[in-house]
Amino acid sequence: VALCDVSAESLEQTRALCTRAAPAGTRISTHEADVSDESQVIGFRDAVLDVHETDHIHLLFNNAGIGAVVSFLLDDREAWEKTFAVCWDGVYYCSRAFVPLLVASPEGHLVNTSSVNGFWASLGPQSAHSAYSSAKFAVKGFTEALINDFRINAPHVGVSLVMPGHIGTSIVINSGRILGREPKE
């Protein structure tokens, strides 16, 4: 199991959860990387190959996101682009880096996490949510397109799309930190 996050603290929390739940002897590695930066994703992939002494993987979970309420019209361009980059580019860059390793395995599976906001682009009539929603629509469309692409070109690799609704995580607090905004309670 190879874990990636921008937060060392979150990585250690997740590692502890994995260690408690995993069968004895499971190798768990952690890697600090920003999935919105392709060079860091490539470094993550190379570290995984080295640490796990492998040339293929069986599972890839693309599950990165920052859930900022960002308006295309009112918020600064940097916040909008960072939100879109983490939520969409992270899936794209990790897929480009790791899918060849899935294809190299005897069987594999790609799981991309979108959001209920990939079905509707609103948190309600008083909240602009354009960056996050646009990115989650992109993840949904990309994954649906890959189902057929893999069926034709890599039939031993499956593809799934996860579209969760609200889940009680610290995404809002973490998103505020990443975007340089005061975290909310």
Active site residues: 132
Q: Collect contacts of 116-120 with beta carbons under 8 A, ≥24 apart.
A: 116/163, 116/164, 116/165, 116/166, 118/163, 119/163
Helix (H, G, I), strand (E, B) or coil at 169: coil
Backbone phi, psi, residue 16, to 5°: -60, -45
- The answer to whether residues 119 and 163 touch, using CB atoms and an 8 Å cutoff, is yes
Q: Which residues contact 58 (CB under 8 A, 6 or more apart)?
A: 102, 105, 107, 108, 109
Helix (H, G, I), strand (E, B) or coil at 108: strand
DSSP letters along 154-168, please? -TTEEEEEE------
Helix (H, G, I), strand (E, B) or coil at 110: strand
Amino acid at 93: Y
